[in-house]
A and B are shown apart, each in its own frame.
Chain A
Amino acid sequence: MRRIPLSALIGLAVTGAFFAVALTAQWIAPHPIDEIVSPQIWAPRSPEFPLGTDSIGRDLLSRMIFGCQVTILVATAATVLSFTVGSVLGFLAATAGGWVDQILSRANDLIMAIPSLILALVILSVTPPGIVTLVLVIGLLDATRVFRLARAVAADIAVMDYVEAARLRGEGKAWVIFREILPNALSPLVAELGLRFIFAVLFISTLSFLGLGVQPPLADWGGMVKENAAGLVYGVPAALVPSAAIAVLAISVNLVADWILARTTSLKGGRGV
């Protein structure tokens, strides 16, 4: 086992903790997500409500725990979608070449020419609201970036002499893609996975904050910032709690991603992933 730097260890531990909370939210949350537990809105911290209550008197801690689940669920689903769609199409474009590559690449350029947030807003103004829509919109918009990376990585590998050697040997397309190109393309893509996950977390939080993401009664962290933002002007810091959660999650995933990225770029081929 190689040495893991401290920053990456912290990142791994914190990320792991968030995922654990997301998986067990139903059992560890003290109160149901939308139960009004206190007549006092924005109640300060107390032994009964460790993080106080929110804008209509619900337990903030419980909502944070459920919010964690929704945020991570949507971000994970969107990341899986963007990776599957982006890398399959990217590999296809790089290995097929010709008009397949032209059509896919130009279409991708077109989508990337519009800022993601703006395009998402345009789409969300007509589509029916819901978690599935959000996952589709975030995942597909983000797939454009995965596509670009996967295509570039695969195109770089496809011109290597060892791939040419396999073609000269008479190997079929499946061998060339799965045995020659894919094993070498995997590590740069895995490093990208973390960055795409952060992007999905920030994206869903921003959309919910704008009121266009996760809809009540469900709530994610971005939506909770929105609900409690009005309190800030009166000096109630409730909105800062979900804000901090988003920041900590993003930073800890970033620490892990940075470490993986540094490892894969310092490995020029060779064994060991």
Chain B
Amino acid sequence: MRKSVPVLVAQRIALGLVLLLAVSAVIFLGVEALPGDVAQAIMGQSATEQALANFRAEHGLDQPALTRYLNWLWGILHGDLGTALSNGEDIARAVGQRLGNTLFLAFWAAVISVPLAIILGLVAARHAGRWPDRLISAVTLTTISLPEFVLGYVLLYYLGVKWQVFPPIAMVFPGMGLWERLHAVILPVLVLVLVVLAHMMRMTRAAILNVMQSAYIETAELKGLSPMSVIWGHAFPNAIAPVVNVVMLNLAYLVVGVVVVEVVFVYPGMGQYLVDHVTKRDLPVVQAVGLIFAAVYIGLNILADVISILANPRLRHPK
């Protein structure tokens, strides 16, 4: 009766796409249902009824919500994210420039934090309950308790201003060399690494401890295998799926952390762009960028589930 792996993976991906569609509806239609008027917000309290009506007609706001949703969705599927209300800019073009910057930041944060988190998680699990574990867990408990911007400003003040080790403002511009660019983003990358590292390391530790407490680990020890053989031969093949899952979930978390960190370091990325336009109450930009963030988040979650399915021996080798 058990379903085969390709069917399960296809099902999971299909479910993710349905979810994404539902999310787009929430972001577009759900927002319509909220109190508040876009035209009023953009034009200000002093705008006349006539001016508001003109504004609505100009931007198609007078059409039924469902029609506008379907048009919006149709446009997105064709790469058209609409135009910004505040300055008439093409959203897709603006996003195109900034997405690269954001991915650059997230990529380097991931490259540093993932191996570090796994190594620290292993160390903590290996010494569970003893001082290396306690130290690591005390430090991570602290960083988990800090919002990203607090961590960001503390590092900015000490490393960027007081001791002047790294540039305090992450200025990047087109045509910059890779090394210059990396040097510019050291602080924001460091903040993202610290924030994600704590969660990732705690979850990795829990996943590995869970595997190490299994009866088959005792079996391996009672075979007289060396600690390394026990870990590589028996713990590792079973720990890899939960650890990869942990990594994916935390990369999804990274996507959100980016928003705040970009604002702290005045970095021209998607997060900064989103926050600016929330302040300007520029709904089309907010909806388009919000959907992109949600899509990345959902995509990483799907990836995590697919990896779990692929790594499960019960599913890979059906009866």
Which residue of B has the minimal Cβ distance to A237?
B157
Question: Is there a chain B Cβ closer than 8 Å to A113's Cβ?
Answer: yes
State A211–B272 Cα separation when bound (angstroms). 12
- Rounded to whole Å, the gap between the CB of A218 and the closest CB of chain B is 18
With both beta carbons as reference points, the residue of chain A lying nearest to B253 in the complex is identified as A115
Q: Is the CB of B290 within 8 A of A118?
A: yes
Query: Is A205 interfacial (CB-CB < 8 Å)?
Result: yes
The yes or no answer to B153 lying at the interface (CB within 8 A) is: yes
Whether A243 contacts B294 by the Cβ 8 Å rule is no
Partner of A235, one of B19, B23, B162, B277: B162
Q: A206-B260, A247-B146 are in contact. Are A254 and B294 (CB under 8 A)?
A: no
Contacts of B34 in A (CB 8 A): 123, 126-127
Query: Are A121 and B153 within 8 A (Cβ)?
Result: no
- The residues of B that contact A122 with a CB separation of less than 8 Å are 27, 31, 278, 286-287, 290
Report chain A residues within 8 Å CB of B35: 127-128
Q: Which one, A12-20, A150-158, A175-183, A225-233, is touching chain B?
A: A225-233
Taking a contact as CB atoms under 8 Å apart, the answer to whether A247 and B298 are in contact is no
- CB of A91 within 8 A of chain B? no
Contact A229 B153, beta carbon cutoff 8 Å: yes
Q: Which residue of B lies closest to A246 (CB)?
A: B150
A228 to B277 alpha-carbon distance, docked (Å): 22
- Tell me whether A240 and B147 are in contact in the complex, defined as CB-CB below 8 angstroms, given that A121-B275, A233-B161 are known contacts: no
**Residues on A with beta carbons closer than 8 Å to the beta carbon of B168:** 232-233
Q: Report whether over half of chain B's contact residues are helix, strand or loop; otherwise say mixed.
A: helix
Q: How far is the CB of B198 from chain A (nearest CB, A)?
A: 12
Q: Is A93 an interface residue (CB 8 A)?
A: no
Smallest Cβ-Cβ distance to A203: which chain B residue: B147
CB proximity of A13 to chain B, nearest CB, Å:
17
Known: A110-B22, A114-B27, A122-B290. A205 touches B147 (CB 8 A): yes
For A, the interface residue count at a CB cutoff of 8 angstroms equals 44
Query: Does B133 count as interface, using CB distance less than 8 angstroms?
Result: no
Interfacial chain A residues near B301, Cβ < 8 Å? 113
User: What residues of B have a CB within 8 angstroms of the CB of A243 in the complex?
Assistant: 149-150, 153-154
The distance in angstroms between the C-alpha atoms of A246 and B144, with both chains bound, is 12
Q: Which B residues touch A127, using CB under 8 A?
A: 34-36
Q: Across the interface, do A125 and B150 meet the contact criterion of CB distance under 8 Å?
A: no
* CB nearest to B144 among chain A residues: A254
Least CB distance, A208 to chain B, in whole angstroms? 10
Do B161 and A232 touch across chains, with their CB atoms under 8 A apart?
Answer: yes
Residue of A110, A122, A232, A233 most packed against chain B (CB within 10 A): A122
A250 within 8 A of partner (CB): yes
Residue of A nearest to B169 (CB): A233
Residues of A within 8 A of B259 (CB): 117-118, 121, 210
- Which A residues are CB-close (under 8 A) to B153? 225, 229, 232, 239-240, 243
A73 within 8 A of B: no
**Cβ–Cβ < 8 Å partners of A124 in chain B:** 278
**Bitwise interface map of A from 227 to 261 toward B, beta carbon under 8 Å scored 1, else 0:** 00100111101011001101100110010001000
B192 at the binding interface (Cβ < 8 Å): no
What per-residue 1/0 map shows which CB atoms of B267-289 lie under 8 Å from chain A? 00000001101110111001100
Say if the beta carbon of B255 comes within 8 Å of chain A: yes
- Report the nearest A residue to B28, measured CB to CB: A122
Q: Mark B243-281, 1 if CB is under 8 A from A, else 0.
A: 000000000100110011001100000000011011101
Query: Is B214 interfacial (CB 8 A cutoff)?
Result: no
Are B294 and A114 neighbours in the complex by a CB distance under 8 Å? yes
CB neighbours (8 Å) of B106 from chain A are: none
Residues of B within 8 A of A111 (CB): 26
Q: Which of B153, B168, B263, B294 has the most CB of A within 10 A?
A: B153
- Known pairs A109-B19, A122-B287, A243-B150 / 18 extra A-B pairs, C-beta < 8 Å: A113-B23, A113-B298, A114-B27, A114-B290, A115-B255, A117-B256, A117-B260, A118-B274, A123-B31, A123-B34, A125-B282, A127-B34, A206-B149, A210-B260, A225-B150, A246-B146, A250-B146, A250-B147
Q: List 29 A-B contacts (CB under 8 A).
A: A110-B22, A110-B26, A113-B19, A113-B22, A114-B26, A114-B294, A115-B256, A115-B294, A118-B274, A119-B27, A121-B274, A122-B27, A122-B278, A122-B287, A124-B278, A125-B282, A125-B283, A126-B34, A126-B41, A127-B34, A127-B35, A212-B275, A229-B153, A235-B161, A240-B153, A243-B154, A251-B142, A254-B141, A258-B141
The 5 closest A-B pairs by CB, nearest first: A250-B145, A126-B36, A243-B150, A125-B278, A125-B286
- Interface positions of A (Cβ within 8 A of B): 109-111, 113-119, 121-128, 198, 202, 205-206, 209-212, 222, 225, 229, 232-235, 237, 239-240, 243-244, 246-247, 250-251, 254, 258
